[in-house]
Amino acid sequence: WKSSGLDTESSALVSSYTDSIITMSDTILAMSPNIKISIAGVARTYNFMDEWDEKLDEESIKNIEAVLSNFDSRLQEYATAQTRVAYIDDHFWFNKIFGSQESNSLKPRVRFSRGIELINASGDEPVNMLLGDHHTGTLYNGLWINHLVTEINRQLNMTLSTPDLRQVAETAGLSPD
């Protein structure tokens, strides 16, 4: 998509995927009036520094973003029209904390408190955003789960407990001060 952007083919693909998600969501919601669900937008892997073979140019990022934003906006519109669906904006959350290539503000590391720091790199350390196998690391997942639960509580009037960042860090083997 870095060359084509949101063309007819990518638009049809996005529609197919989002239509499937919406159909499944409606099926799940129809099972019981007590069911509530969350739908997350798509992550932008071009913001993970170690995922770059080479840094994407501004035009490529703009083209990719057009496709991914179309996907996100379709799901967000669906969730907004539902009373039992929360939309989790992964892209907004990531940019708020780590910055982005789009705005040339991507941070290589973010310190949350003494002893709790997340590094935008790959490797098998819990402070790395990505592990060696390209799955997100423990600390990153703890931050994201905190965001997920906070948004579910806010959008769906729930009172789920959010994980404590210090406990997540300790679970990861870190020693927060």
What does the pLDDT look like over 13-59, one tens digit per residue? 999 999 999 999 999 999 999 999 999 998 776 666 655 556 778 88
pLDDT digits (tens, 9 = 90+) for 145-158: 999 999 999 999 99
β-pairing, 116-122 vs 128-130, is: parallel
**Structure confidence at residue 12 as a pLDDT band (50, 70, 90):** very high
Establish how many alpha carbons lie within 13 A of residue 148's alpha carbon, considering only the half-sphere containing its beta carbon. Answer: 12
pLDDT greater at residue 3 or residue 5:
5
- Work out the burial of residue 90: count CB atoms within 10 Å of its CB; fewer than 13 is exposed, 13-18 middle, 19 or more buried: middle
Give the percent of the chain with pLDDT over 90: 42
DSSP code of residue 47: G
pLDDT greater at residue 89 or residue 123:
89
What's the predicted TM-score (pTM) here? 0.84
Where is 139: in which H helix or E strand?
A: helix 138-156
pLDDT digits (tens, 9 = 90+) for 119-139: 888 888 888 888 888 788 888
